[in-house]
Amino acid sequence: MNKTMQTFKIADHQVGAGAPALIVGEVAQAHDGSLGTAHAFIDAIADAGADAVKFQTHIAAAESSALESFRVKFSQQDATRYDYWKRMEFSPEGWSGLVEHARQRGLIFLSSPFSEEAVDLLDRIGMPAWKIASGEVTNPLLLERIAATKKPVLLSSGMSTVAEVDAVVEQIQKLELPLLVFQCTSKYPSGPEDVGLNMLDFFRQRYGTPVGLSDHSGKVFPGLAAAALGVDMIEVHVTLSRQMFGPDVIVSLTPAELRQLVEGARFIQTALAHPIAKDDRAASMTEMRGLFSKSLVARRNLKSGQTLKRGDIATRKPGTGIPAAHVAQYLGRALRRDVAAETFLAPDDFED
């Protein structure tokens, strides 16, 4: 495998090389076939501060057949899975409108194709990169069509063995295409034991590529943990409400949760990008140290010539007098003048 770390751009966003993680709000089929709802998702994801919105492009006749059964009989209006995919289709004009809306809101527009025809449709409307769903990793015909566009590839690993991912990565790297590998667990929802954060560094070291987390937990925590591990891309499903219909609602974040993820990831990554030198930072806080540290004071009235004992002293803020840390230098020394109780001690209060 190629172990030279890649870095590339999706639209104007740098991926890899320490750049902030590209955060993607995944709509998938949460729009339930409504173009208006799809546009509402774009606004919600943009308002949450994410970098990209991602859909899935299904063309029933090019993808499915009457033999495909429902994974779960969840729909009240679709007799077959084929009917469901058909209802999820948008026209080329509909897709173009979504692309333009995303552009106006400052979002990168992505959509996973599930057929060669979907690749062609999306390529015509200007996909900047290709997200390959985990179920398509072993589909060389689709991969061949995607590779021909010479655009970056975002490879999911959810249903794949390491050997299968190895084979696709080798194919893509031979073509010298930019590549990111996603750790993904195709379990809906994923529990904490399913997330696989350890795979981020595994893929990074094995393939020399940027890595991402495609999360199906429905929680903000895996994305934040991935940010702390220096991940290059975070993808989460989004639902407008927990009360919405759809198979992905249980694995999705609400817009408010997506904003929390975005803000948290940005905070974490900014912190990681700014290591501090502890001594330098402490030296810059002289004024603060004076406010919050303490000085030596007389606990009671003290007489000239009196030898200072532990019971004669206390400490008080601010730390502008003899620092409390220097107490050992003054215990056992004689005073050269009277000192009233609660008076801050000074070095010239003591005999040489």
1 assigned to some structural domain = no
Residue 312 lies in domain: 279-349
Please name the residue ranges forming H helices in 196-349: 198-207, 221-228, 255-272, 278-283, 286-292
Residue 225: how many other CB atoms lie within 10 Å = 17
Domain co-membership, 97 together with 146 = yes
| Least reliable range by pLDDT among 59-73, 165-179, 194-208 | 59-73
- Using the 3D structure, point to which of 237, 272, 307 is the last residue of a domain: 272
In this prediction, residues 232-251 reach a mean pLDDT of: 92
- Of 258, 156, 259, the C-alpha closest to 213 is 156
In this prediction, residues 39-54 reach a mean pLDDT of: 98
Residues contacting 243, CB < 8 A, separation 6+? none
336-350 tens-digit pLDDT: 999 999 999 999 999
25 assigned to some structural domain = yes
Domain co-membership, 171 together with 299 = no
Counting the structural domains of the chain, the total is 2
Domain co-membership, 304 together with 204 = no
Domain co-membership, 293 together with 184 = no
Share of the chain above pLDDT 90, in %: 80
- Using the 3D structure, point to which of 236, 253, 272 is the last residue of a domain: 272
Task: Please check the confidence at residue 314 and state whether its pLDDT lies above 90.
Answer: yes
**Distance, CA of 25 to CA of 8 (rounded, Å):** 20
**Distance, CA of 28 to CA of 55 (rounded, Å):** 5
Domain co-membership, 293 together with 241 = no
> Which residue do the tokens 């590549």 mark?
179
Domain co-membership, 173 together with 283 = no
**Distance, CA of 299 to CA of 322 (rounded, Å):** 14
**Is the model more confident about 247 or about 164?**
164
Q: Considering the chain, what is the average pLDDT of its residues?
A: 93
Tokens of 199: 């795979």
In this prediction, residues 106-135 reach a mean pLDDT of: 96
Pairing, β 295-298 against β 313-316: antiparallel
55-105 tens-digit pLDDT: 999 998 998 888 888 766 767 888 888 888 899 999 999 999 999 999 999
pTM of the entire predicted model: 0.86
pLDDT, position 108 = 98
9-23 tens-digit pLDDT: 999 999 998 899 999
pLDDT, position 256 = 98
Domain co-membership, 261 together with 306 = no
**What CATH code is carried by the domain that includes residue 292?**
3.90.1210.10
2 assigned to some structural domain = no
What distances in angstroms separate CA 122 from CA 112, 145, 270, one per listed residue? 9, 12, 34
